[in-house]
Structure 1
Amino acid sequence: MEITVRQAQRSDIPTLGRVLGLAFADDPIVTWLLPDAASRARRAATMFTTVARHNYFEHGGIDVAVDDSGDLVGVAMWAPPGHSSEHTNLRALSGLIRAFRGRLFAAGRMAEKMAAEHPHDPPHWYLASIGTLPATRGKGYGKALLSARLDRCDAEGLPAYLESSKPENVPYYERFGFEVTAELDATEGGPLMWKMWREPRS
């Protein structure tokens, strides 16, 4: 099986939003933000489509993985050094309102706490979201997505940072060189996240 990782095109944004919506439908943080299981994947897709379009695409920080048929099956969204991804501009607000509805305030509070805890020095790449379609998990798409951008980090001598929202994913990221630096309670008593940092490899 050949895995292709490429930079996202603007026409990919609706599809990659749907992929991430399905990938995160069982995520503890997304479940906390969007408790209605029947609409969760659809509303999460709206959220991911919105932030992809307004926060990540213009900085070239979205990688996608496609299968042998050319179908988009995995996505990684990164913020490059020097670009904050936590603050939402007004163009994204309508999409986030559609996604979160009555949970918009909770989502905003969580984003503020994550921003306050986000390391700012040294400059680094920030992995905001990575996910693959549930049917493709374990087939190497996530590894290919991570490796593509981390190879660039290593070539540029730059660290990388992420917050893992699933405890079972922590060992997976550790295999790529990330280390847990702290627990993060951005939900005020809800699900935890784990702050992870990776130094570049020579």
Structure 2
Amino acid sequence: MGVSVRAATGSDIPELARVLADAFFDDPVMVWMWPDPERRRRGLPRLFAVEIRHHHLAGGGAELAEDGDGVVRGAAMWDPPGGWKQSTLSSLLSLPGLVRAFGSRLGVGAAVSGTVEDAHPVDPVHWYLATIGTSNAGRGGGYGKALLRSRLDRCDAEGLPAYLESSKEDNISYYQRFGFDVTGEIRIPDGGPTLWAMWREPVRATP
């Protein structure tokens, strides 16, 4: 069964949200924002759907990975150079969906988002891997690798660096295999979890 990567479209949003919600259900940041598992189970797909619809899709960096039967097993949300920060319009359009996703936890979600945004490097211009995940059914199937290689090959061709935050310390070594290095720690306030900022310089082709 082969792995294929393609650009996501608007019609893919429900499936992308489902896959990412599955992938991030036990993520430390998501658990911090939604301590109650049932609220997290309802909130995660709503959150990802809002982010994809009102931000990531427009930047042309939303990609999905399918198995040989066309079943979506993984997704990656990349923001292009200069496009990582949400516009005022995008933020306004996102607000009703975020209220539905977070409910009374909206303030916690906003604090996490603000902390991560404040730590984001401004220069040099770069591709930003905002989110990448594989469904439980697809783990170990090479979907994450295919998604990373798809965009990192473009980064190398364009001579542009890439940036991400790892919300699990165990994943640092995985990203290091693709050329990312830890550049700092991002601590969520009020006793929240730690994220690791990671940066990757483009790989120059050998003459």
Counterpart Cα distance in 1 of 2:100 and 2:12? 20
Map 1:1-202 onto structure 2 (within 5 A): 1-86=1-86, 89-202=91-204
Contact in 2 for aligned 1:18/1:42 (Cα 8 Å): no
Counterpart Cα distance in 2 of 1:171 and 1:146? 14
Amino acid of the residue matched to residue 189 of structure 1?
G
Q: Normalising by structure 1, what TM-score?
A: 0.97
Contact in 1 for aligned 2:127/2:155 (Cα 8 Å): yes
Counterpart Cα distance in 2 of 1:164 and 1:81? 19
Q: State the shift of 1:144 in Å.
A: 0.3
| Cα distance per residue 1:4-49 (max 9 Å; x no partner) | 0000011001110111011100100001001111231331010000
Flag structure 2 segments of 5+ consecutive residues without an equivalent: none
Q: State the shift of 1:67 in Å.
A: 0.7
Say what the alpha-carbon RMSD is for the aligned residues.
1.1
Query: Is 179-188 or 162-171 further displaced after alignment?
Result: 179-188
| Cα distance per residue 1:73-119 (max 9 Å; x no partner) | 11000110011335651111111111111111111111111111100
Counterpart Cα distance in 2 of 1:101 and 1:43? 9
Contact in 1 for aligned 2:5/2:63 (Cα 8 Å): yes
Q: State the shift of 1:71 in Å.
A: 1.0
Counterpart Cα distance in 1 of 2:3 and 2:168? 25
Contact in 1 for aligned 2:8/2:62 (Cα 8 Å): yes
Counterpart Cα distance in 2 of 1:187 and 1:132? 28
Number of aligned residue pairs: 202
Flag structure 1 segments of 5+ consecutive residues without an equivalent: none
Q: State the shift of 1:186 in Å.
A: 2.6
Percent identical among aligned pairs is 52
Counterpart Cα distance in 1 of 2:168 and 2:100? 25
Query: Is 82-91 or 146-155 further displaced after alignment?
Result: 82-91
Runs of 4+, deviation exceeding 4 Å: none
Counterpart Cα distance in 2 of 1:129 and 1:161? 11
Q: Cα–Cα, structure 1 residues 7 and 187, in superposed 2: closer, same or farther, change >3 Å?
A: farther
| Cα distance per residue 1:120-160 (max 9 Å; x no partner) | 10000000000011121111000000000000000000000
Contact in 2 for aligned 1:13/1:49 (Cα 8 Å): yes
Q: Normalising by structure 2, what TM-score?
A: 0.94
